[in-house]
A and B are shown apart, each in its own frame.
Chain A
Amino acid sequence: MKIADIIETLDLKLISGAGGLQNEITGCYVSDLLSDVIGNAREGELWITLQTHQNIIAVASLKDLAAIILVRGLTAEEGTIEKSNLENIPVLTTTLDTFSVAGILYQLIKK
């Protein structure tokens, strides 16, 4: 499953990093503490968070994450958008809250 495949199902809006839309998703990690993501997320995972600071791109790049989904309609900051485009790491936003988006993704990824 690729990022491009879930955009419609989850009603996601792409904010930046279109270059990474063909990234393969291997799983999902949910956390708002960047040090926790550095320690525990695995390569190819989709990361659900409410953090919008540019450090999220550095973390996603370090851990080779597939993409970042921001919850509750949050938007990314300017620096985050710039770095996302540079690193080709898609940043998407959903109007859903963390519980809902994680629940839907769990069903999709388990199949």
Chain B
Amino acid sequence: MRTFRADLHIHTVLSPCGDLAMSPGRIVEEASRKGLDIIGITDHNSTRQCGITARMASAKGIYVMQGAEVTTKEEVHCLAFFENSDTLDSFQVYLDSNLPEIMNDTSKFGYQVVVDEDENIVYEEDKLLINALDKGMDEIESFVHSLNGLFIPAHIDKSKNSIYSQLGFLPAGLNADALELSPASLHNKFEEKHYEINNYQTIRSSDAHFPEEIGRVHTEFYIPQVSFREIRAALKGVDGRKTEIR
């Protein structure tokens, strides 16, 4: 087994709240500087910046977990990751068809653009990405798993847009591959107050919206080599594989 450092929750310039400096190039450079081996590209309700970032990261030996940070009908933020471009594309279709037809106002919310290797804008998303999908958390979880993806409720210790803030408590029988803690959990000791989360694997990630936030916390994966399957196996604790939050 080897140790790989992962920060699985990073926004790009595509998220309206993501800093304009969060281009794929800058993210990869920063991740490399921070010694990260695995990064998750998780824009709000869009996967469209994943492909370009994955290609650029791979040149630097960094593996990109491709997915999105989905907003459920209950306004719970959840990370979803997919193994290949087919399932990622299927999920993008699902996002497009379930995000309300409400347009972004760039003066209020910021720009929602996909940029390429040379920082050229190649796509602009018109619909407001920070809206909630017209699908409940359980429905989204089922859909993600039907595509063989990973489903991870995000920053569960936060007082907004978390499973606890929106739904009061962890639903019985929640089918999550892990639960994500925010950087604030380093201080609020959330996991010590909520023993029920010990039934799940936990990860901790940065939720970076600015370059300097990338890797401010991370999760270590103990796996033989990096792949989507190995990451899944570590979350399941298969054959000595494991994760540890840092």
Q: How far is the CA of A35 from the CA of B172 in the complex (A)?
A: 16
Residues in B whose Cβ lies below 8 Å from that of A1: none
Flag the segment in B27-35, B160-168, B210-218 that touches A: B160-168
Q: How far is the CA of A53 from the CA of B40 in the complex (A)?
A: 28
Q: Are A34 and B139 touching (Cβ within 8 A)?
A: no
Residues in A whose Cβ lies below 8 Å from that of B138: 53-54, 77, 79
Q: How far is the CA of A66 from the CA of B73 in the complex (A)?
A: 25
Q: Does B100 contact A (CB under 8 A)?
A: no
Residues in A whose Cβ lies below 8 Å from that of B73: 52
Q: Given contacts A53-B74, A54-B171, is CB(A35)–CB(B165) below 8 Å? A: yes
CB < 8 Å neighbour of B168 from A34, A52, A77, A79: A34
Q: Are A55 and B136 touching (Cβ within 8 A)?
A: no
Closest B-chain residue to A37, C-beta based?
B168
Count chain B residues whose beta carbon lies closer than 8 angstroms to a beta carbon of A: 14
Q: How far is the CA of A25 from the CA of B171 in the complex (A)?
A: 27
Q: Are B136 and A59 touching (Cβ within 8 A)?
A: no
Q: Are B169 and A55 touching (Cβ within 8 A)?
A: yes
Residues in A whose Cβ lies below 8 Å from that of B74: 51, 53
Q: Does B137 contact A (CB under 8 A)?
A: yes
Q: How far is the CA of A77 from the CA of B164 in the complex (A)?
A: 19
Q: How far is the CB of B173 from chain A (nearest CB, A)?
A: 8
Q: Are B172 and A52 touching (Cβ within 8 A)?
A: no
Q: How far is the CA of A79 from the CA of B142 in the complex (A)?
A: 12
CB < 8 Å neighbour of B136 from A33, A34, A37, A52: A52
Q: Does A38 contact B (CB under 8 A)?
A: yes
B125-149 vs A: 1/0 string, CB under 8 Å? 0000000000011110000000000
Q: How far is the CA of A55 from the CA of B138 in the complex (A)?
A: 11
Residues in B whose Cβ lies below 8 Å from that of A52: 73, 136
Q: How far is the CA of A77 from the CA of B218 in the complex (A)?
A: 35
Q: Are A34 and B171 touching (Cβ within 8 A)?
A: no
Residues in A whose Cβ lies below 8 Å from that of B139: 77
Q: Are B165 and A53 touching (Cβ within 8 A)?
A: no
Q: Does A96 contact B (CB under 8 A)?
A: no
Q: Are A59 and B171 touching (Cβ within 8 A)?
A: no
Q: How far is the CA of A13 from the CA of B74 in the complex (A)?
A: 23
A residues touching B (Cβ–Cβ < 8 Å)?
33-35, 37-38, 51-55, 58-59, 77, 79
B residues touching A (Cβ–Cβ < 8 Å)?
73-74, 136-139, 164-169, 171-172
Can you pick out 8 interface pairs between chain A and chain B where the beta carbons lie within 8 Å of each other?
A33-B165, A34-B167, A51-B74, A53-B171, A55-B169, A58-B169, A77-B136, A79-B138
